[in-house]
Structure formats: structure tokens, C-alpha cells
Structure 1
């Protein structure tokens, strides 16, 4: 049995990070691998802020206090803080992860991905800048990536911060590179002169609705709309529009993943319960990558709000546009909140989407299977 490590964002308190990690672990175990998660050392972000120089405990405290600045009910804020503080203890053991960090173990194969593992030019101090995410100092016989993403990191940003040569040299040492979006693929080709393979995010590649027996059957006594977005991402104007829209549709607003001004309820639940809530939602409004994916695999009527990247600020345009175009769902994009009602009025041909996903799942099995069997 081959010993395989996954180096990803598995310790981030985030439903998408958890479910993509769980899914990739399942895909590897289906190839009869012994799987463990590998940690990396978090260094200071390339784009530094004043808060990055503060003690981690002080930063964590400030992050908690920041929650109270958001426009949302006090009970939701307290529930959100509890959700964040308890996430690791509750759910990481389900991945086989303990409090003890697992740095540079000896492995037959190290798989880097999925998620934004290559997003090195950013300011998130929880992720930082780590060359270990590009395979540095690994002790594996074979090094590959799976559906890795550069996120908002572009060639221009790599040039600006003089990281092209450093990142390029590390990428050239991979035995195989798999990415999940065009921006990432273009960067790999530019930096290594090699074409990477393209694969779907593990949450799509693994058949959660068909294979995962942990998803509970949860039904609400009321009809609801899921708003899946991070805290502070939905503006007051957008929240007011959603409130009015949900009222017209006679739907309650369930906030998952973050607290929202317009939410009737903030849902604190397990990652698998998230999928159960999606399965019974009337509609979904999201501006996230995994919120879109959860909607797709549960066949929900959804709209994805796309935001352009401006300077070093958050933007989701590259990864969301690429994902939805790849699945034939570009019409689910709204460039502003007022476009969402029109998008939600359109039917989705999920039969056509499922055909694409079925073919891509076979490509994923082939890629992973071939890489594992080639280990000496």
C-alpha cells in the first residue's frame, strides 16, 4: 500500500477547505493508498499589513472583535465566533488530523492541492508565503499536484514581487502538475514551459451525493434561501436587496459560512450537514467557489455573484468564471446583486452538467491512478 500525503489548506476553518480535503482523501483511498495530511510552515505574507507584525494571539483576538463590527444580529455574531473557535476540534479529527503538526514526512507520493495552494502573492496571514506549498524540502519519492490554483496571483503580481524565478524553479521539479483553472494553467506553462493537466475541484470529482454516507437527511419545516458568503463580503445594499427579494418569495434567509445582515438564521453545523442544507434549499445566492460547487452537486437553483479583482483586494472573477464556463453554467453569473433575480428565473440543465462531471471524474481517476501506479 502506497503512503501518500496531501498538502493543502486542511486546517483552515472553512467548509470548502474541509470538504475538498475530505474528497481528495477519499479519491486517493479508492486507489488503495494510505493517506495522511501534511502541514506547512506559515511564513509572513508577501503583501504585508500592519496586523501581520502582531502576536498571533493578538491577531486572533482582533479577528474575533472584528466580528462585532459586522451588521448582523448579536446572536448570530456570538454563534459565528463559537463556530470558528470550535471548528478544528470538532471536524479535523474526521480527516485524521490531530493538533500535532505533520511536517515533511517520508512518503511515496506528496499531492499538493487542491484549493488555492499556489496563491502566494496575497495578504492572508493565516496562509502566508510558504515555498513548501510548491514542494520545497519535501521527502517524497514523487511530487504531484491535483487541481491546484494560483487564485488571485497573476503573472503581473509575480513579476512585481520578483518571484517568477523562485516559483518557476520549484514547479519544474514536480513529476506532474494538475490545476483547476485557466489562470493557474497559464502561469504553470509560462513558468515551466510545460502544459499542466486540468481537473475539477475534489468536491466535484468525488461523488458526495452518491458515495458519502455521512450526509444526514435534514429537512426544515420552512422554505429557505441559502446565502453562502464570508462575513463582511455582502454589502448593506446587497443585503437589503436580498431581504426584499426573500420576502417577495416567502423564503427565510439561512446564512452559512458567514454572518449576514439579511439572515433570519446563522447556521452552525458540520461540513456534511452543509450539504444536507443545500439539498433542501429553494435557492442559493453565493459569491464563493465552493458555494457554487455545493449548489451544483445538490442540483440547486443558484446564482453566483462575480466580483472583479482590484489591486490587492479580494476578487473572485478568475476562478468563478472559469469554473462555471467549464461546466456550461456561465449564465449563472451575476455581475451585480440586481441581476440575481433574472439568473434565478432561468432553469438549469443539470443533466448536461452531470455529463460533463461524469467525464471529468473519469479523467480524475485516470490521473490519480496513473500517478500512483508509476511510483517506484
Structure 2
């Protein structure tokens, strides 16, 4: 039995970040190892943005004020602020995470991933550029990655901002490199000449509905559609279309993860309740990576709205196209919200998806078992 650490995005107040962290922890524990989460020191971002403060309290206040600028019911905005404020105290203990950071513990092995742990060319001051996320300065016997992602960081951006050589050195010191998407694989190959292995995000690799006993039963007295998107990313025009569409279908709009202009209800719930709500939804509309994954494991009709990356702006086209292509579900994507009605009237072929998941889950187990062995 090994003492294993996971370095991920576990402190980010986000359902996807939580559920991927919980899933990876659970899969490693199933192999008989002890698991703890490891923190990294947040460093200044590579891309400077004068509008982004490095002070945590200032950022929280700014985010709270920003919420009031969104077009959404006031009660939803207040509920959303409360959800964000209480997130860490309510849910991080479920991962075994305390308020005190766990920096550089002594470990047999450290697993870096999943999530966008390698997405270092960005302006998010909550993460910044941290060499520790690439294995630097650790106190572990060895370091591996699992389904790590560079997100929107490409090989061209790494070279442009002068980080390619530093990251190449770190990656060469990692014992086994696993990535979750094609862009990340290309970056690893370009920098190290190593062929990484590809694995699915832990939320797909772990059988939540078959193994997790924390998912409750959710009962509502109305049929609903879930709109799972970050606050402010669904445009007013898209929101108006979704509201009209839901009314035609006789569905209420439940907003999860962000406030939305068209929502009848903002749902403040636990990460495990999120999966229960997805399981009981009539259909889902999302523009996020994990929203798409929650739809898949819940086996519900869904549409994923794809956003293009513009300059240093944050898009989702690369990761969503890669994810849905791997699952044989590219027909669930659209750039145009008016395509949702056509897409959601057809239930995906989840028989083929399930076969893919079963094969990939075995690959994940074999990879972790082999690389975590003492």
C-alpha cells in the first residue's frame, strides 16, 4: 500500500473540479492506497491583466459585485453568492481537505491531475503559473499524471511566452504522463518526444452511478430542463431562445453552476445532488466540459454549445470537440442555440458510449495499478 498524493484543482469552487477530484481519489483508494490532496503555491500568472487582483478578498468582492451585473432574478443572484461563499466549508471536507494548505508532504507517489492542471498560459490569478503543477519541488518518490490537460495552452503559446523549455524539463522528470485530450498530447510530444497515454476524465472513468452511495434520490413536482453554464456566458439572445423553447416543451429551467436570465430556479446543491438532478432531467443544455460529462453518465438527451477561443479569451472548442469525438457524440455539439431543439429530440446511443466507458475504465485501472505499485 502506497501513500499517494493528488495535486489537482481541488480547491476551485466548481462542481466539475470536485467530482473529478473525488472520482480520482476513489479509484486510487479502491486499489488499496491511502490518498491525500496536495496544494500548490499560487504564483503570478504569465499573462498580466490589470483588472485581476492577486488579493483573494479583493477577488471575492469583485466576483460578488460582478454577479449583480448579470441579467438574472435578484433571488438567484443572492443564492449564487451564498453558494460560492459556503462552498469550501460545506464540500471540501468531503474530500478530506482542511482549511490549512497541505504543501509538499512526503509521499510514495504524487498524481498530478486531472482537470486543466497544465493550463499555465492564462491570466487567472487563482492559479497563475505554478511549476509545482508540473512536478517541480515535490517530496514524492515518483510523480505521474492522470488525464492532465493543457486546456487552451498550446505549444505556440508556450514558446511565445518563453515557458516551453522550463516545462519540458519538468515533464521529462515525470515517470508516466497521462493526458485527456489531443492538444495536451501534442504539447507533451513536442516538448519531450515522449508518447503520452490518453485517459478519460475521472468523472467518466469512475462509475458514479454504479459505485457512489452519496448520490441521493431527487423528486420534483415538475419536469425540468437543466441549463449548466457559468454565469454570464449564456448571451441574452441565447437565454431568450432557451426560455421560449422550455415553455414550448412544458419544462421549467433549472440553472446549476451559474445564474441565468432564463432560469425559473437557481439550484444550490451538493456536488452529488448535481448528478441526481442531471439523472432526473428531461434534457440538458450546457457549454461546459463537465456539464457534458454529467449529461453522458446520466444518459440524458443533451446539447453542448461550443465557444471559439479568441486571443487570450477562454473558449471551449478544443476540449469539447476532443471529448465528444472520443465518445462518438459529436452530433451533440452546436455553435447555434437554435439547433438545440433538433439535437435534443434524439436520445444519444448510450449503448455504444457505455461500451467505450467500460473499456476505458479498465485502461484507467490498469494504468493506476501499474504506476502506483510500490
TM (norm. structure 1) is 0.98
Separation of aligned partners in 1, 2:53 and 2:291? 32
1:303 aligned counterpart, secondary structure: strand
8 A Cα contact 1:44 1:52, kept in partner: no
8 A Cα contact 1:4 1:34, kept in partner: yes
8 A Cα contact 1:285 1:302, kept in partner: yes
Higher alpha-carbon deviation: 51-60 or 62-71: 51-60
Structure 2 match to 1:225: 225
Structure 1 match to 2:138: 138
What are the superposed Cα offsets for residues 315-341 of structure 1, whole Å, 9 maximum, x if unpaired? 001100000000000100011111111
What are the superposed Cα offsets for residues 110-156 of structure 1, whole Å, 9 maximum, x if unpaired? 00000000000011111111010000000100100000000000111
What are the superposed Cα offsets for residues 58-77 of structure 1, whole Å, 9 maximum, x if unpaired? 22111111100000000000
Separation of aligned partners in 2, 1:132 and 1:251? 46
Q: Please give the residue correspondences for 1:115-264 in structure 2 after superposition, counting only pairs within 5 Å.
A: 115-264=115-264
Change (3 A) 1:358 1:164: same
Structure 1 match to 2:17: 17
User: Structure 1 segments of 4 or more deviating over 4 A?
Assistant: none
Separation of aligned partners in 1, 2:360 and 2:345? 28
1:368 aligned counterpart, secondary structure: helix
Separation of aligned partners in 1, 2:107 and 2:54? 35
- Mapped pair 1:307 → 2:335: no
Q: Please give the residue correspondences for 1:351-366 in structure 2 after superposition, counting only pairs within 5 Å.
A: 351-366=351-366
2:147 aligned counterpart, secondary structure: coil
Instruction: Report how far residue 345 of structure 1 moved.
Output: 1.9
- Mapped pair 1:319 → 2:319: yes
8 A Cα contact 1:51 1:59, kept in partner: no
Instruction: Report how far residue 52 of structure 1 moved.
Output: 3.2
Separation of aligned partners in 2, 1:90 and 1:54? 25
Q: Please give the residue correspondences for 1:263-278 in structure 2 after superposition, counting only pairs within 5 Å.
A: 263-278=263-278
Separation of aligned partners in 1, 2:25 and 2:53? 35
Structure 2 match to 1:109: 109
- Mapped pair 1:78 → 2:78: yes
Instruction: Report how far residue 34 of structure 1 moved.
Output: 0.5
1:50 aligned counterpart, secondary structure: coil
8 A Cα contact 1:154 1:183, kept in partner: yes
Separation of aligned partners in 2, 1:363 and 1:291? 23
Separation of aligned partners in 1, 2:290 and 2:25? 17
Structure 1 match to 2:346: 346
Separation of aligned partners in 2, 1:54 and 1:345? 46
Instruction: Report how far residue 87 of structure 1 moved.
Output: 0.3
Matched pairs, number: 374
RMSD (CA atoms): 0.8
Separation of aligned partners in 2, 1:337 and 1:282? 18
Instruction: Report how far residue 355 of structure 1 moved.
Output: 0.1
8 A Cα contact 1:148 1:178, kept in partner: yes
What are the superposed Cα offsets for residues 182-218 of structure 1, whole Å, 9 maximum, x if unpaired? 0000100001000000000000000000000010011
8 A Cα contact 2:300 2:347, kept in partner: no
Separation of aligned partners in 2, 1:86 and 1:54? 21
Separation of aligned partners in 1, 2:8 and 2:59? 23
Return 5+ residue gaps in structure 2 as ranges.
Answer: none
Structure 2 match to 1:281: 281
Instruction: Report how far residue 226 of structure 1 moved.
Output: 0.1
8 A Cα contact 1:150 1:183, kept in partner: yes
Instruction: Report how far residue 25 of structure 1 moved.
Output: 0.2
Instruction: Report how far residue 47 of structure 1 moved.
Output: 1.2
Instruction: Report how far residue 53 of structure 1 moved.
Output: 4.3
Separation of aligned partners in 2, 1:366 and 1:312? 37
Structure 2 match to 1:370: 370
Separation of aligned partners in 2, 1:13 and 1:64? 14
Separation of aligned partners in 1, 2:123 and 2:34? 34
Separation of aligned partners in 2, 1:57 and 1:29? 35
Instruction: Report how far residue 252 of structure 1 moved.
Output: 0.2
Structure 2 match to 1:49: 49
TM (norm. structure 2) is 0.99
1:51 aligned counterpart, secondary structure: coil
Separation of aligned partners in 2, 1:361 and 1:270? 25
